[in-house]
Amino acid sequence: MIGISAWKINHMIHGIVLGFIVSIPMALGALGFQGLKIFLGTLIMGMIYGFLIELISHLIVKEKEAAPETATP
């Protein structure tokens, strides 16, 4: 999931949001079998995993921020 989004938001919030979105299908599948606790736990763990993936990838990759483009007359 690294590098799939062009959102201009904080990378940690980005990881939490993507982790939530990706964990929704798993949580819905668990809802029918285990109930509300597993449903909520799956969503929360998805957000934690997304946060950790973004944190680790940010520390390893350390993307260089693009220099602002200057308009040439």
Would you place residue 49 in the very low, low, confident or very high pLDDT band (cuts 50, 70, 90)? Answer: very high
Residue 16 CA to residue 11 CA, distance in Å, equals 9
From residue 47, give the alpha-carbon distance in Å to each of 39, 67, 69, 70, 71. 13, 31, 34, 37, 39
Of 5, 19, 18, residue with least CA distance to 48? 19
Across the range 61-73, mean pLDDT stands at 61
For residue 45, what pLDDT is reported? Answer: 94
Task: Identify whether the C-beta of residue 50 lies closer than 8 Å to the C-beta of residue 15.
Answer: yes
Query: Residue 24 falls within a domain, yes or no?
Result: yes
Query: Residue 1 falls within a domain, yes or no?
Result: no
Overall domain count for the chain: 1
34/70: higher pLDDT: 34
Would you place residue 15 in the very low, low, confident or very high pLDDT band (cuts 50, 70, 90)? Answer: confident
**pTM of the predicted model, to two decimals?**
0.70
Domain that holds residue 28: 11-60
Query: Residue 68 falls within a domain, yes or no?
Result: no
Query: Residue 4 falls within a domain, yes or no?
Result: no
